[in-house]
């Protein structure tokens, strides 16, 4: 059976399971992995082993593995890569929200830039908060503030809403430690520090496209402030009017976000600048230890936890916050690990080299191919994270054979997970219901804007890969 047919079967099982059978993504991905494994012949596996230059003993061991063993190995391997990171990121996000630190960041940004620059403040805050906090949570946090400012100035609610979405959505798919980019970087062998820096740079560039469209759409489709189904405008305004003295200081609020970025990025950059020697070796050891992604996130999580304890001074509430964060993280880890298992078994079909051969034969550039495959999966089943972890399973076999840095491929997959959010996407309904927009308004504003941002990201990558293929 052709590898593309097996890929189609796997995707059909995953997408059909999520959409048709309403299965949880974890179950759908496991079923997809089983289906792909059953369709993969010994010949497929031997060709895959040959492409990886495996010995005959390694090849025979891989051929003789049962489907259950393959899935278990894939789950364990992926969970080992991302388990601590996701758990700590979830804890940081929960502490930022419950302590009031996230609200402090948003208010301080608004205070610095003023109401006239409120869209830029919302976009910047969304981008910063979107690094450790999931998109839906960022939107829940910031939409009350957007409604409050819009109610005060009497206009621009659509602009404020789109600015929040533009900032948070790109961080969600391009910058670790959110699960999608974290797994993609791991599967493609991209250094986490490099992925963070690349995601920050590309995400910042795409914000220009998002802001331009938001300004145009705000004039073309003006949207008034409305009561949402969950809460009224007045209630949201009251919730966002906490006294500043009850919130953590700005430096402490930003520290759990900035510290891991600095430590991990430092571990990527500084070793190249420090010369060898006894003193240099000691410094390098410290940089390597504290710049390790798991250690950096763990340190930041404990800082965030201390900040929350400092604010609430209630042991029961503190325990409850930790339990909720870890419980939520556990589900994300399971889904992501199942995606890793699905991707690992897909690789054994030889799909990576097969797609590369087709791309070469028909002169299809790999970056747009990866982008549009991810778009197809995202549009079909709704989840950006599931789209990324499914797509990277298809392309990860090519990571060691690329003529350019695999960071470009990772970022192309991240951009491809953005178009086109519609009614099968939970984030679409969060935006629609919390903002009070109609379905049509949401499609015309946020869905279209996210798609244009993703396309602009692909264009930037296509230009950059021709100028700086390796770095």
Domain limits, the chain: 3-467
Closest Cα partner for 349 from 106, 1, 80? Answer: 1
Instruction: Report the pLDDT value the prediction gives residue 412, as an integer from 0 to 100.
Output: 95
Place of tokens 């974290």: 182
Place of tokens 């609430």: 312
Place of tokens 């740079």: 201
Instruction: Report the pLDDT value the prediction gives residue 227, as an integer from 0 to 100.
Output: 60
How many CB atoms lie under 10 A from the CB of residue 59? 17
pLDDT per residue as tens, the chain (471 positions): 777 788 788 878 887 887 788 888 888 889 988 998 898 888 888 887 877 778 888 888 888 888 898 889 888 887 887 788 778 877 887 787 778 787 787 778 777 777 778 888 889 888 887 876 667 767 766 776 777 677 667 788 899 999 999 998 888 899 987 778 988 998 898 988 899 999 999 999 999 999 999 999 999 988 887 765 444 555 445 545 667 777 889 899 888 878 887 887 777 667 766 665 555 577 777 888 888 878 888 998 899 899 988 888 778 878 888 888 888 778 878 877 887 788 778 778 877 667 666 666 655 688 998 998 888 878 766 678 878 888 888 887 777 777 889 999 999 999 999 988 876 676 777 777 777 788 888 889 999 999 999 999 999 999 999 898 886
Asked if residue 459 lies in contact with residue 205, where contact means CB atoms within 8 angstroms, the answer is: no
Q: How many CA atoms lie within 13 A of 193 on its CB side?
A: 19
Instruction: Report the pLDDT value the prediction gives residue 230, as an integer from 0 to 100.
Output: 45
Q: HEC string of 51-100?
A: HCCCCHHHHHHHHHCCHHHHHHHHHHHHHHHHHHHHHHHHHHHHHHHHHC
- Percent helix, strand, coil in the chain, to 5, is 80, 0, 20
In angstroms, rounded to a whole number, what is the distance separating the alpha carbons of residues 333 and 178?
A: 11
Instruction: Report the pLDDT value the prediction gives residue 411, as an integer from 0 to 100.
Output: 96
Asked if residue 40 lies in contact with residue 6, where contact means CB atoms within 8 angstroms, the answer is: yes
Asked if residue 34 lies in contact with residue 72, where contact means CB atoms within 8 angstroms, the answer is: no
Asked if residue 393 lies in contact with residue 339, where contact means CB atoms within 8 angstroms, the answer is: yes
Instruction: Report the pLDDT value the prediction gives residue 471, as an integer from 0 to 100.
Output: 67
Instruction: Report the pLDDT value the prediction gives residue 380, as an integer from 0 to 100.
Output: 66
What Å distances lie between residue 411 and 123, 171, 203, 213, 261, CA to CA?
A: 20, 11, 10, 22, 18
Q: Which 3 state secondary structure label does DSSP give 349?
A: coil
User: What is the separation, in whole angstroms, between the first and last Cα of the chain?
Assistant: 39
In angstroms, rounded to a whole number, what is the distance separating the alpha carbons of residues 204 and 186?
A: 22
Instruction: Report the pLDDT value the prediction gives residue 207, as an integer from 0 to 100.
Output: 94
């Amino acid at each position: 059976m052709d590898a593309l047919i097996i890929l189609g079967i796997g995707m059909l099982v995953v997408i059909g399971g999520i959409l048709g059978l309403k299965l949880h993504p974890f179950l759908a991905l496991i079923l997809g992995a089983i289906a792909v494994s059953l369709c993969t012949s010994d010949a497929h596996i031997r060709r895959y082993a040959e492409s990886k230059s495996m010995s005959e003993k390694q090849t025979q061991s891989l051929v003789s593995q049962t489907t259950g063993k393959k899935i278990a190995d894939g789950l364990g391997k992926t969970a080992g890569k991302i388990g601590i990171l996701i758990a700590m990121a979830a804890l940081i996000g929960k502490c930022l929200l419950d302590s009031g630190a996230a609200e402090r960041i948003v208010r301080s940004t608004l205070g610095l830039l003023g109401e006239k620059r409120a869209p830029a403040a919302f976009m910047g805050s969304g981008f910063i908060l979107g690094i450790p906090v999931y998109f839906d949570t960022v939107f829940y946090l910031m939409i009350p503030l957007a409604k409050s400012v819009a109610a005060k100035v009497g206009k621009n609610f659509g602009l404020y809403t789109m600015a929040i979405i533009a900032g948070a959505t790109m961080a969600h798919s391009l910058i670790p430690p959110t699960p999608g980019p974290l797994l993609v970087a791991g599967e493609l062998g991209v250094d986490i520090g490099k992925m963070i820096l690349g995601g920050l740079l590309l995400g910042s560039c795409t914000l220009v496209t998002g802001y331009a469209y938001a300004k145009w759409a705000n004039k073309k489709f003006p949207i008034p402030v409305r009561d949402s189904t969950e809460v009224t405008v007045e209630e949201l305004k009251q919730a966002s009017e906490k006294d500043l003295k009850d919130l953590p200081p700005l430096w402490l609020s930003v520290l759990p976000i900035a510290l891991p970025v600095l430590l991990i990025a430092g571990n990527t950059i500084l070793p190249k600048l420090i010369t060898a020697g006894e003193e240099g070796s000691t410094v390098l050891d410290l940089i390597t230890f504290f710049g390790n992604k798991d250690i950096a996130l763990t340190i930041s999580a404990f800082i965030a936890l201390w900040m929350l304890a400092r604010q609430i001074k209630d042991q029961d509430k503190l325990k409850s916050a930790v339990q909720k964060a870890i419980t939520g993280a556990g589900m994300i880890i399971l889904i992501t690990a199942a995606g890793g298992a699905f991707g690992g078994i897909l690789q054994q079909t030889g799909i990576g080299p097969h797609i590369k051969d087709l791309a070469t034969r028909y002169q299809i550039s790999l970056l747009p191919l990866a982008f549009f495959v991810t778009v197809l999966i995202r549009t079909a089943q709704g989840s950006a994270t599931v789209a990324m972890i499914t797509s990277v399973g298809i392309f990860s076999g090519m990571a060691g054979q690329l003529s350019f840095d695999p960071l470009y491929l990772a970022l192309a997959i991240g951009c491809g997970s953005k178009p086109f959010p519609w009614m099968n996407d939970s984030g679409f309904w969060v935006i629609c219901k919390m903002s009070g927009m109609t379905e049509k308004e949401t499609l015309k504003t946020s869905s279209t804007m996210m798609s244009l941002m993703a396309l602009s990201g692909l264009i930037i990558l296509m230009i950059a890969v021709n100028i700086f293929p390796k770095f």
